[in-house]
Amino acid sequence: MLDSMSSQGQASPAGQVLDKTYLGKHIHLIGAGGSGMRALAQMLIGRGAAVSGSDMAASAATESLCALGASVFIGQRGENLPSQLDGVVYSAAINDANPELLEARKRGVEVVKYSTMLGRLMKEQCGIAVSGTHGKSTTTAMVAYALANSGRSPSYIVGATVPQLGGPSGVGTGGHFVAEACEFDRSFLNLCPTFSAILNVEEDHLDCYENLQAIVESFRAFAAKLPDHGVLVVNGEDRNALSAAGGARCTVETFGLKEDCHWRGARPTCDRGRYRFDVLAGGKKFCKLILQLPGLHQVYNALAATALLHHAGLTPSEIVQSVNSFEGTYRRMTVKAQQGGITVLDDYAHHPTEIQVTLRAIREFFLPRRIWCVFQPHQHSRTRFLLKDFARSFGSADKVIVPDIYFVRDSEREKEYISGQDLVAQIRLHAGDAIYLKNFVAIVEHLKNNLVPGDLVVTMGAGNVWEVADEIVRWLGRDR
């Protein structure tokens, strides 16, 4: 069965974890193409498991899993489950009526959520978990990269591809397990870290939380899970994060730019959106960071990463070398092309705060003539609950194009409450220049007819809006 790690995981004399729990096990993943599930599949394959899975559509993620030896089915049917099967893992997007889930339960196979399996993988190592409404993937990747770059050989699982690490996950021989801690459906409460960060706490996932207070309480429960000998690093300028940290019984250290923060970014200077600053720990000089990633929000991510890496045993010089050379994750201000005077970017931002800070960083770093933002709203419920915040978040964009909302997890009835046209109307009320174009074909045609040298196009969203960026890249590569 899946839950046998504690009896089979073992540590070498050097403290390296040699986990043989999943060697030869047959595990099926429902929703294998999702960012977290894909990384989990890669990790299980790396630990010797035979992995199969399914997703509703083929993608680069499903193709990469097949290349690693997984059997991935497109479409979800009960017969996709192999005859020899030790366990089934399913993503948060899968509902109870899923035919593969029903078949697994009918056969008496153990079925667990993604977050539960992630917690089991973390249990036998020193867990480092990064939580927060924003910045989780970048900060998790930064920590994993620094540990790997300094020879610590961590295991890690990130909700985004990390080019410098060769993918979103890895199985190391060292003692650390680094993972994103997502608050959706309270899934991060299944993790068992020793060191954790709370980057920020805002309204999100209001389809499974009643209100902001319920979200804060969930983070508070997450903080309470840390052991007495653990450490929680928390944004000292975020009132909700500080409130959540009140649930911790371990050591709590703050980070930020304010003087009373334990991990403080001091004397920051900025060059085209990229920051350099001194890091003070308890008021004393710890190191100096010069970030490659633009945006003030990256200063906070780097401070949190620095604190976690210090407690994981890295020296200041090791932290500096790795954090300063970190180049980010895929779909976070990813440059797809710069041709004919036109720049094409793709980004995962799908929350108002993320949109706002990313557009500001784009303007500071690329200095474009105009920013065209193609934003695909993700979830009808998120769009409805945060509509006015979304409308205010596009201030740094010159042109905004909104297609239909990406439908995921919501009920069919939720579609009746909100549409892409409603978001466009709200953006216009806030003096934004926005239009609604129903599908990607119309958006691409509009961009082809209006882009001029000096313009920058950024596709934004957690859905498949990157397809627009790819089509524009192909168009730029042809004689026009």
Which domains can be identified in the chain, with CATH numbers?
Answer: 5-113 (3.40.50.720), 125-325 (3.40.1190.10), 334-477 (3.90.190.20)
Q: Measure CA 100 to chain center.
A: 26
- Alpha carbons 105 and 83: distance in angstroms, whole number: 14
Tell me: pLDDT of 64 over 80.
Answer: yes
Tokens, residue 357? 């800070």
Reference 120, options 54, 183, 27, 184; nearest CA is 27
Q: CA-CA-CA-CA torsion for 22, 221, 159, 119, nearest 10 degrees?
A: 0
Angle, vertex CA 168, rays to CA 294 and CA 102, nearest 5? 130
Q: Looking at this protein, which amino acid is placed at residue 88? A: V
Determine contact, residues 197/233, Cβ cutoff 8 Å: yes
What's this model's pTM, rounded to 2 decimal places?
A: 0.88
pLDDT in tens, 178-233: 999 999 889 899 999 999 999 999 999 888 899 999 999 999 999 999 999 999 99
Range with lowest mean pLDDT among 123-127, 311-315, 326-330: 123-127
pLDDT in tens, 351-407: 999 999 999 999 999 999 999 999 999 999 999 999 999 999 999 999 999 999 998
Tell me: pLDDT of 452 over 80.
Answer: yes
Determine contact, residues 182/36, Cβ cutoff 8 Å: yes
* Angle subtended by helix axes 35-46 and 114-123, to nearest 10: 40
- Alpha carbons 139 and 236: distance in angstroms, whole number: 17
210 Cβ neighbours under 8 A, 6+ residues apart: none
Of the pLDDT bands very low, low, confident and very high (cuts 50, 70, 90), residue 294 is very high
